[in-house]
Amino acid sequence: MKNVTGYDLPKLLAGSWGRLAAITELTLKVLPAPRVSATRVLHGLSAQAAVEAMAAAMGSAAEVAAAGHLPGEVSVTAFRIQGFAGSVKARCELLASRVAPWGRLQDADDSATAIWHALRTLTPLPQNLPLWRVNVRPGAGASVVGALERYGAQWLLDWAGGLVWAAVDADPEMVRSVARSAGGHAQLLRAPSEMRAQVPYHQPPELAVAELEARVRRAFDPAGVFETGRF
């Protein structure tokens, strides 16, 4: 956490993927686990409608803790609200009114574990296809999956549409072009070894950003100790 003036080194190191320095001591700030957690869902929404509903939910006073979308024969758009029992009940009612234009919000506490487990472990996605993690602004999630579906992609939406998990056997440059067009980037998480040997894990940055990254690395690691080439 940054609480003094100067450079924000914690964020820089957290986003450096071990390419700048070694962290030798870590302090964690934690919060109590919520006493009550409720999951509410909308069924049958398209990706675009789901992104719109999630944006409305996240912009409300319901304080939604998580929002994701699982496509399928009957798609599931899920919202999680947590805290004290009275507060959770009131915020669920507020959420229902906020997302009413997209359908009737339903109680899904009995299936909540399965829903969030699917979003966390990606079990609905095939294991035999390259797996991409695409980060975009939440409102662009639907356009990304719409473009990737043309190539047979199977996908999930998390972070209210800002995180797209896509399993697709397609040209890597095409996937990254889609992410770039949406103002985001795509990381290659899983692929056959021959593909991993040719396609970098991180999306290559624009020239100006690459030059800035190189200067930062030289400042932190002039001897290139942390440049192992593992990405």
HEC-encoded secondary structure of the chain: CCCCCCCCHHHHHHCCCCCCCCCCCCCCCCCCCCCEEEEEEEECCCHHHHHHHHHHHHCCCCCCCEEEEECCCCCEEEEEEEECHHHHHHHHHHHHHHCHHHCCCEECHHHHHHHHHHHHHCCCCCCCCCEEEEECCHHHHHHHHHHHHCCCCEEEEEHHHCEEEEECCCCHHHHHHHHHHCCCEEEEEECCHHHHHHCCCCCCCCHHHHHHHHHHHHHHCCCCCCCCCCC
Q: Is the pLDDT of residue 17 over 90?
A: no
Query: What is the mean pLDDT of the segment spanning 103-125?
Result: 97
Amino acid residing at 202: H
Angle at 144 between CA 142 and CA 150, to 5 degrees: 105
In this predicted model, what pLDDT tens digit does every residue of 22-81 receive, in sequence order?
A: 889 888 889 899 999 999 999 999 999 999 999 999 999 999 999 999 999 999 999 999
Mean predicted confidence (pLDDT) in 97-114? 97
4 or 124, which is more confident:
124
Of the candidates 120, 129, 143, the residue with the CA atom closest to the CA atom of residue 189: 129
Domains of the chain with CATH codes: 36-121 (3.30.70.2190), 125-225 (3.30.70.100)
Take residue 122 and report the two structure tokens written for it.
Answer: 């990606």
Give the closest residue to 217 by CA, choosing from 6, 5, 16: 16
Q: What's the pLDDT score for residue 3? A: 66
Question: Is the pLDDT confidence value at 5 over 80?
Answer: no
| CB contact set of 67 (below 8 Å; sequence gap of 6+) | 54, 57, 58, 77, 78, 79, 80, 159, 160
Q: Express each pLDDT in 154-189 by its tens digit.
A: 999 999 999 999 999 999 999 999 999 999 999 999
